[in-house]
Structure 1
Amino acid sequence: MQTTDIAQRLFKVAAVLRDTMGAAEYASVMSVVLALKWASDHQDRLIVPPEAQWDQVVAAADSSPRTALNKAATALVSSNPAVFDDAFLQVIKDKQLSNGAAQELIATLDEISFGDESPEPEDLAGKIYEQLLAAFVDSDKRAEFSTPRSVGQLMVRLTDPQPGDSVYDPCVGTGGLLIAAEEYVESETGRDHAITVFGQDVVQQTCAIARLNLMLHGSVKVSIQRGDALINPSYHGSTGDLKQFDRVLTDPPFSLKYQQDMLRIPQHTRYGQSRVADLMFVQHVLASLTADGVGVIAVPNGVLFRAGDEGRIRREMVRDGRIAAVIALGRNLFHGTSIPACLLVVRGMAAAHAKAPDVLFINAEQEVDVTRSKTHLAPRHVEKIVTTYHEEREIRHFSRLVSVEEIASKEFDLNVSKYIDPQPPRHPKLDIEALLKGGVPVDDVNLQSDRFATFGIDLASLFAPSKPGYLEFPPDGYTTTAAKIPVLSAPTESAFAAAVGDWFQQFKEEIALTNRLPAAARRHFAERFRRTLSAWSVLNSEQLAGLFVDWWTANQNDLEQLSRPADSSSTCTSTSNASTIEKVGADLIDRAKRLISQNRNQLVELYLTWGDQYATSLALLEHRRELAATRLATRLQKLGYQWPLTGPIRRPKM
């Protein structure tokens, strides 16, 4: 049974509770049952007394399943106080879980093995739980305790955690950012359990979910505590100050009102105090960083430009070099809010003083995909943003490194639009002479001729000669000519798809022999892909990189399976691998075809735009008006009317 299928079945069982529970509450119910099953399959990780054994729960399911869950949860919690707390225990007792729903949950999970006989004993339970949490968030738009996975991956890659680092989330929610950090380090280094993760949340129930989520993903070095990051933080150093971490990642609630008079830690107000908590969370992140640490925090865009106290806080942070980057994101990326948001990349004090306090601005507002009314960052968007940040690239209309002097000249307004010019209009300005007298400007056509040439199309052949400096559309009209463009480009598109297929044939031979770590393998093959296909200018370098990373990410599990040594004695394994190779290869070629067709359709759109603009000139309209007037006069005269009119209309005598 597929992971998503299991998660959907479990979610349907829990759906009967929607009327009496919020998303977090019935996520907690599912957490208890999933934990009991996982614990019995991992008795080396937890103490599982007889009452908490899964087979005992199943045996009692026919008579009193809710009672069986209560007893099992009580036994598991009391035997593992370092992992579970009373909030976990109270979930079943306090919630209105019927015997019928409890029985369905038990029956569904009884079909799944999370133990050693499972092909992925650690990942399976964690992936199922991720699917559940995602479904809960989708069903309850008020749920704000989870960061979208694509945003979390972006945040982690911006901070680039290393083995041995401590990673902290002061608003931990479901623990997704900490899990993403662990997965990143393992992918980059091949070392699991290489970092220590810390988290806190004001809601005890959410802390219980985070602990379970991390446990189901195989995390070992974990500390999750209940605490208010601003008013009563959980983590302190030996001197009583805030504990410091190598990396801090957090997605706090936006524009939260807080009790200003209850702030007790001077580090929280180093740069000032504001009415809403956004910049107070930023100051908590800064205070929680080691000298060379890096943090990323999600904040609403208002933080960037509001005046008053927030303006003064921004000024001092920028002057102190603490803000490394401001990254504007697209709308509707975050759960539970449509407020435009951004990421602030901040740095520890030593890192801030080690270089000029310039700020990198990145405008990623257009770097989004919308699928089934959901907005998300595709892997290609994450790759572009991360590469731009780490290499401090300056890309026209996308990114720019700005000096503190320029920021000061704009009164420390950090709105990205202040520093990065918007994309110019896709089409050039209209030619007045062409509008008045007709024709398509040769200069406009010449500017676009290379784009058509990459598809094997001579753009001049799509026009007819005209007066100097201008061209005409062919006699059969511009819409008919535009319809020929896909036909003319078909040979080039087919040849490019074949080139992608040829690359994949080489790739499938090499991937089985590679001994690279997943992240290193992705980078290696991405570069090979780009170099091999860069001669085909139908896609630019950025599009090739995006095509590859989207494909790799979508097929990551299958690609990792192909890179594992195959069992030569197993016919089943060989057949399965052959089917997998065929599937991932077809997906790559299909993605390439779709992307190249998008570029070709832009050419069709451009040609049609020229037609809409210039096919009918004002002179032609005037000529048509004169012809129509002549025909009207002739017709009226035949009917006995005087034309043109010189007075009131008089009906002809009969």
Structure 2
Amino acid sequence: MTLRKSDLYGSLWKSCDELRGGMDASQYKDYILTLLFVKYVSDKAKTDRNSLIEVPVGGSFDDMVALKGDKEIGDKLNKIIARLAEANDLQRVIDQADFNDEEKLGRGKEMQDRLSKLVAIFADLDFRGSRAEGDDLLGDAYEYLMRHFATESGKSKGQFYTPAEVSRILAKVVGIGPDTKQDHTVYDPTCGSGSLLLKVADEAPRGITIYGQEKDNATWALSKMNMILHGNADAEIEKGDTITSPEFLDGSQLRTFDFAVANPPFSVKSWSSGLENDYGRFEFGRPPEKNGDYAFLLHILKSLKSTGKAAVILPHGVLFRGNAEATIRKELVRRGYIKGIIGLPSNLFYGTGIPACIVILDKENAQARSGVFMIDASKGFMKDGPKNRLRSQDIHKIVDVFNKQTEIARYSSMVPFAEIDDPKNDYNLNIPRYIDSSAPEDIQDLHAHLEGGIPERDIDALAPYWDAFPSLRSTLFKPNRPGYVDLAIDITRVQQTILDSEEFKSFAEAVRHKVDNWFMDHRLALKNLSSDTKPNALIATLGDDLLERFKAAPLLDAYDVYEQLMTYWHSTMHDDIFLLMNDGWVNAAKPRKAIEDKDRKLAEVPDLVIGSGKSATKYKMDLVPPELIVAHYFGDEQTRADALKATAEETSRAIEEYIEEHGVEDGQLSEAMDDGKVIKSLAISRLKEAKRERSDPDEVKGLERLLELYAEESWAKKAVKDAQSALDLATLRKCGELNEADIQQLVLEDKWHASIAAGVGSEVNALTLALVVRIQELGERYAETVDELDEQLRSLEIKVAAHLVDMGLE
């Protein structure tokens, strides 16, 4: 049985993290990624004789596995890696981590156990079938680990990784796509671990030639490994400071490329230290000595061919800072080199929390350019632990809007050069100057507060709702006076009135039909999943089609609908498809034993437990959860089990109420209490004693009733347990009886289709709730006039004065 990807990665990270000890994640990543590299190339060599990496005798992962428990495991691991490095000219690339470092890995038995367990973790992975297409096991595992390492490394050491979501935006807006040729070139002068370059390469289905340079030695080695791991072993990744010692030269000039992408370090103060040759990069002005942002931008511009294009991540300061930077910015704009600017949310990056922007450069037809296209995407994100993160909908919207140059109020605008050149702006490119992304102000109406009524302009602002539900406005509101209306119904009935509206029901039904028709059009492709399926291409097709179908729909934001699909894809559907690609419908649906690994503390929460105690068997049902089988085949049994559960809960409540009534001091149950609580064993012994002593009949009667209730509760709980056990056993047996058609029905319709439809339905509910909340807010705001409030105040003052007189105070 194949484990779901998310379970596999979760186990991998938790296992590695537990073995880290006191080591910083920025150091620990070198050990983990080196082992991942050796494991991958060893597996590939077994199935691909033409593999670019030679795995020599004594230099494979199998040799590492043979060392588990060896007292000299650290030193011997180093020697295995050295053999592999020497055979492939990868010295100082894959041998950066010292596996015999006692300060980091412990001494003697501690190192022996830690490294043995670490090797065992990777032994469970199998990359022999990895296709390295960005949607394979290796690519996703690597991405998962890199994100966690960057998060754990903190501000000072997270620069080696550009978040995948931001990388995808740069790759898609820079102009690379299906028409890109294999001999086209892409360059990253500050490539870090190479993640940004690889995301760009993913956008070129025919391939693209990769060049990169990285200053930090360990990160450079990481990038070299990364390229090999992802099938780009021929990528040229050089080491050194790009500004002072650029490695890509044609004679005495910088080499030029078709495309460039970069996430350079922000505002480097020592960028010019050791600079002897500027290679003509600073023809528009020299960047300030204490800030290197424009040094990188100008280097990239100079490194582009005459039709070259680039996308660069920079701090917002480059858009508005003065002096030398203002002079450079003015020249870049006047020459038409800046095609666009995209403002991103704050706290996206691991090296800094400040907001950044993407500057898109384009030399092609620069002189014919008449403006700069700007996007303010600062408000589109989700919280993800300590960082913010772009959602799928945010990425898609940014890319769509930029590539189509679509102007959207409070989001995007083509800003003409005439406006940028205006003296009031003076080539300041700060996005808020040109795009006001703030929400419209909610204005309080003084006349409405004085005379009553809801301002009609506030109702007009809800026009999209009235366009979708034409008669609903007249149902909810009635005229007051010119420019003002009143609620025509009680404020508490607003929500139900909207839900009962035939127009709303028709709207909700139309949304359901759109989702149903979309799913049916893709059902065959989902049914025919195979090992050749490309998940990334599949979800791109599904997502783009769903987005297109809802773009013309009233009220709903098509990107919100798209996000519902993508959220479900990332949480569930991607895992399901991975299982189906590897195991097929029947095998993927089979229950598997839940992992119970006490040493690594990675035990899974089982979906079904058959039996009890130590003899219990725990199962995981990854593809077809037990609740799906129960809902489809055992509805009556579940209803009975629910009824028994309700009875048991009612009995428990009856006991609580009885104790609350009679457990007071000197009550019928007072002698059965300890520390303010009734104890069942005390109640039993006290009843025997009371009967023997012929105590108060009421006490005997009370104790007998309490024990009767306890007996009823015990019976009810046993009935629930027996019913649930029978239902679980029936579910497990039914799972073994399902054929391929049964499984497809459960997964395609009851799971995927139903879940996505429910997600989109939640968007309908959310916009309905937003309308209800706004109407209730307006109704309550202007429900009472100032005169009415004054009258209430005078009435209350009179009452207070009367009470004071009654109390003898004047």
Residues 1:243 and 2:255 are matched in the alignment:
yes
495-504 or 298-307: which moved more? 495-504
The alpha-carbon deviation at position 435 of structure 1 amounts to: 0.8
State TM-score, norm by structure 2. Answer: 0.70
Residues 1:47 and 2:62 are matched in the alignment:
no
The structure 2 residue matched to 1:136, chosen from 130, 149, 152, is 149
Shift in CA distance, 272/550, structure 1 to aligned 2, threshold 3 Å: farther
The alpha-carbon deviation at position 599 of structure 1 amounts to: 1.3
Q: Which amino acid aligns with 1:595?
A: E
Q: Which protein shows a greater Rg? A: 2
Instruction: Tell me if structure 2 keeps the 8 A contact 1:485–1:604.
Output: no
Instruction: Tell me if structure 1 keeps the 8 A contact 2:476–2:489.
Output: no
The alpha-carbon deviation at position 628 of structure 1 amounts to: 2.4
The alpha-carbon deviation at position 566 of structure 1 amounts to: 12
Instruction: Tell me if structure 2 keeps the 8 A contact 1:7–1:129.
Output: no
The structure 2 residue matched to 1:459, chosen from 445, 468, 473, is 473
The alpha-carbon deviation at position 219 of structure 1 amounts to: 2.3
394-403 or 222-231: which moved more? 394-403
Q: Look up the SS of the partner of 1:256 in the other structure.
A: coil
Distance 1:555 1:236 in 2: 48
Q: Look up the SS of the partner of 1:401 in the other structure.
A: strand
The structure 2 residue matched to 1:173, chosen from 189, 192, 195, is 192
Shift in CA distance, 638/174, structure 1 to aligned 2, threshold 3 Å: same
Q: Which amino acid aligns with 2:766?
A: Q
Unaligned runs of 5+ in 1: 642-648, 650-654
The alpha-carbon deviation at position 418 of structure 1 amounts to: 1.2
Q: List aligned pairs for 1:328-367, cutoff 5 A.
A: 328-348=343-363, 350-353=364-367, 355-367=368-380
State the Cα deviation string for residues 427-478 of structure 1 (Å, max 9, x = none): 3x332211112121244334425515636871333345545543334685x3
Instruction: Tell me if structure 2 keeps the 8 A contact 1:255–1:277.
Output: yes
Distance 1:36 1:520 in 2: 29
State the Cα deviation string for residues 137-160 of structure 1 (Å, max 9, x = none): 111212121001110100100113
Q: List aligned pairs for 1:528-539, cutoff 5 A.
A: 528-529=545-546, 532-533=549-550, 536-539=553-556
Shift in CA distance, 103/598, structure 1 to aligned 2, threshold 3 Å: same
Instruction: Tell me if structure 2 keeps the 8 A contact 1:301–1:341.
Output: yes
Q: List aligned pairs for 1:15-34, cutoff 5 A.
A: 15=17, 20-34=22-36
Distance 2:224 2:739 in 1: 38
- The residue number in structure 2 matching 1:644 is none
Residues 1:145 and 2:160 are matched in the alignment:
yes
Instruction: Tell me if structure 1 keeps the 8 A contact 2:249–2:255.
Output: yes
Unaligned runs of 5+ in 2: 106-110, 588-737
Shift in CA distance, 154/577, structure 1 to aligned 2, threshold 3 Å: farther
Instruction: Tell me if structure 1 keeps the 8 A contact 2:190–2:214.
Output: yes
Q: Look up the SS of the partner of 2:245 in the other structure.
A: coil
Instruction: Tell me if structure 2 keeps the 8 A contact 1:230–1:268.
Output: no
114-123 or 398-407: which moved more? 114-123
- The residue number in structure 2 matching 1:67 is 75
The alpha-carbon deviation at position 230 of structure 1 amounts to: 0.6
The structure 1 residue matched to 2:414, chosen from 401, 406, 420, is 401
Shift in CA distance, 574/110, structure 1 to aligned 2, threshold 3 Å: farther
Q: List aligned pairs for 1:55-134, cutoff 5 A.
A: 55-63=62-70, 64-81=72-89, 84-93=90-99, 95=101, 96-97=104-105, 98-116=111-129, 123-134=136-147
Distance 2:420 2:134 in 1: 52
- The residue number in structure 2 matching 1:225 is 238
The alpha-carbon deviation at position 178 of structure 1 amounts to: 1.3
State TM-score, norm by structure 1. Answer: 0.86
- The residue number in structure 2 matching 1:163 is 181
Distance 2:121 2:585 in 1: 35
Q: Which amino acid aligns with 2:4?
A: Q
The alpha-carbon deviation at position 562 of structure 1 amounts to: 11
Q: Look up the SS of the partner of 1:365 in the other structure.
A: coil
Distance 1:30 1:405 in 2: 54
The alpha-carbon deviation at position 426 of structure 1 amounts to: 5.6
The structure 2 residue matched to 1:628, chosen from 792, 796, 800, is 796
- The residue number in structure 2 matching 1:581 is 748
Shift in CA distance, 584/562, structure 1 to aligned 2, threshold 3 Å: farther
610-619 or 101-110: which moved more? 610-619
- The residue number in structure 2 matching 1:652 is none
Residues 1:5 and 2:17 are matched in the alignment:
no
Shift in CA distance, 12/442, structure 1 to aligned 2, threshold 3 Å: closer
Shift in CA distance, 405/507, structure 1 to aligned 2, threshold 3 Å: same
Distance 2:549 2:399 in 1: 23
The alpha-carbon deviation at position 248 of structure 1 amounts to: 0.7
- The residue number in structure 1 matching 2:627 is none
Shift in CA distance, 366/356, structure 1 to aligned 2, threshold 3 Å: same
Distance 2:545 2:129 in 1: 37
- The residue number in structure 2 matching 1:645 is none
Instruction: Tell me if structure 2 keeps the 8 A contact 1:267–1:284.
Output: no
The alpha-carbon deviation at position 360 of structure 1 amounts to: 1.1
Q: Which amino acid aligns with 1:67?
A: D
Q: Which amino acid aligns with 1:180?
A: K
Q: Look up the SS of the partner of 2:794 in the other structure.
A: helix
Shift in CA distance, 572/154, structure 1 to aligned 2, threshold 3 Å: farther
